[in-house]
Copies of this chain bind each other. A is one copy, B any other.
């Protein structure tokens, strides 16, 4: 085992503080990664503050990890030392159930091991995430990152990227489709970029007229202000697909009304109770609502390759590890365009 520097929350109401944790020695199937950058996902904050009532302390968050390989196990053939790689929300799964066999490890029937706050199969206790110097991960959960991408801006692809890419691909968004992205935050800004790169006619749907300029810079063809009834009427029944990134419970009915016959709205943000949905709004037009959770490892690699090809990365603001508490405070106020990324040199040099 190796002791490495990290940042952790020790209780649900404590600030993030320096912490030391043990990483396992590299086994035959493992890859050891020197973490260079780690994105700050809203889930990190939810776990730190125990919003989902399942946190185990100390919490070391971070599942948007970019780094370089420093050591590989005997069975590792597809990676080499020095390679730029990423680790997302999962570090292990059973690899045997039907979900794993279908390349959807996020739905592993025996429970995927999440990158932090999951049960650690090797050392016991729980897993620690990317707000640390190093990580040791099973080779099946390591992603290859195209060298042409800015590695700092690539970090958020590992969660925000795959979370938005996966439903757009699964519901077959294609050139010319009219796609609405609801909500402009960490997820929404990636949704716009991907839908645009897939050739869709992208409409940013937001409550805030002030976000129009940014949305267009990110690739939106139009901006629809959801509080303007006339605008909503004009767009009624016209969308081939809606990616709903609103992170809290809300009224889905006005958005369902925007869908074409047989079209789908996919939720990727709200995991809490939503306002009452009118059955009739689905019945009229045979409309659909679905959920989507990150994506499997194979699809995450496909997403990274797509990003390499289309030069898609996140819009980021770099911070030092020592500024994480301030970054969390700003995150709560949605005061970030559009993802904080921690420069892990700041931790190593501390």
Contacts and interface: CB of A to CB of B under 8 A. Distances in A.
Interface size class on chain A is 20 to 34
A293 B262 CA distance: 12
A249 B283 CA distance: 13
Given A107-B284, A289-B290, A271 B278 contact: yes
Nearest to A247: B279
A228 interface: no
A230 interface: no
Contacts of A268: 283
A269 B282 CA distance: 11
Of the listed residues A268, A269, A289, the one surrounded by the most CB atoms of chain B closer than 10 A to its CB is: A289
Given A274-B279, A276-B273, A288 B285 contact: no
A278 B272 contact: yes
A282 B276 contact: no
A293 B286 contact: yes
Contacts of A284: 107, 291, 293
Contacts of A280: 271-272, 291
B249 A286 contact: no
Given A274-B277, A276-B275, A261 B104 contact: yes
Interface in A201-232: none
Interface in A107-124: 107
Nearest to A278: B273
Interface string A245-274: 000010000000000010010011111111
Interface string A283-313: 1111111111100000000000000000000
A99 interface: yes
Given A267-B279, A283-B292, A288-B288, 14 more contacts: A99-B261, A107-B284, A271-B283, A272-B279, A273-B278, A274-B278, A274-B279, A275-B276, A277-B277, A282-B290, A285-B291, A285-B293, A286-B291, A289-B290
